[in-house]
Amino acid sequence: MTDLVGDLAAYRPGGKGLIFEGGGDSEFDKKFVAALFPGELKGINLISGTNKSRVRALHEILESAHARGDLPTKFYAVVDRDYDGPADPKAVNRHVWDVYHIENYLLDRPFLVEVLRSLGSEKYTEQNVFDHVGAAARDVVPAMLIQKMRQYVNFNLVGSIDLGFPPDTLTISRELHGAASRSVARVNAALSERLSEEKLLSEEQKHRTEIEHRRTEASD
């Protein structure tokens, strides 16, 4: 547990583990929450997933320990809305922020106006701050769509590849060739089904609608 927490002074023996698994800077998420809720998180071990590879490795360790019945500490995780890491872990109770990233909680108009006015910018009102934030959000929509579509395609392609074969085989090359051939067949099937242009257009429209829905909610 000390290795996961990363700081011996911050380790709380017997405390629950709270993992931040954001796709962005989860170390920031950890510090942000610790600064805002020091009392509520007293006795909790805060763990930063840092990146996807570490999150996957962490889940493998926890799942293995859970399967052996050797996991005395309860683990919880909070992820971003765009998280695409390991799904439905048995060893971790996962929750999702109700915003895209934790930083979005800082984008409330009253807070932004207060900060701007504290810096001497008295001309800003909640409405024109909202207009500026809305314009900035629209500018990043294409990049968000590209990221989501790439994640979707990557998930389907990588999920089609399986190079497994019986470990006791005496014909390794033949078995590996067969596994690779089966993987290629699954990739081709994915390209003609889930990754066809029609399906990708449908997936793109779904994400566009979701983004527009969030923008409408934010304007209410």
Q: What is the pLDDT of residue 183?
A: 97
User: H/E element holding 29?
Assistant: helix 26-36
How many of the other CB atoms lie within 10 Å of CB of 79? 21
Read off the pLDDT of residues 63-98 as tens digits, 9 standing for 90 and up: 777 777 776 677 777 877 666 555 566 656 777 888
CA–CA separation, 153 vs 146, rounded Å? 11
Using a cut of 0.85, tell me whether the model's pTM lies above it: no
Cα–chain center distance at 102: 11
Q: Indicate the fold that domain 2-105 takes in CATH.
A: Rossmann fold (3.40.50)
User: What rounded mean pLDDT belongs to the chain?
Assistant: 80
**DSSP letter assigned to residue 3:** H
Read off the pLDDT of residues 122-170 as tens digits, 9 standing for 90 and up: 888 888 888 888 888 889 889 989 998 998 999 999 999 999 999 999 9
CA–CA separation, 119 vs 146, rounded Å? 36
- Percentage above 70 pLDDT, the chain: 76
Cα–chain center distance at 146: 16
User: Facing residues of 95 across strands?
Assistant: 78
Sequence ranges of the domains in the chain: 2-105, 125-219
Q: How far is CA 67 from CA 14, 64, 85, 216, in A?
A: 20, 5, 20, 44
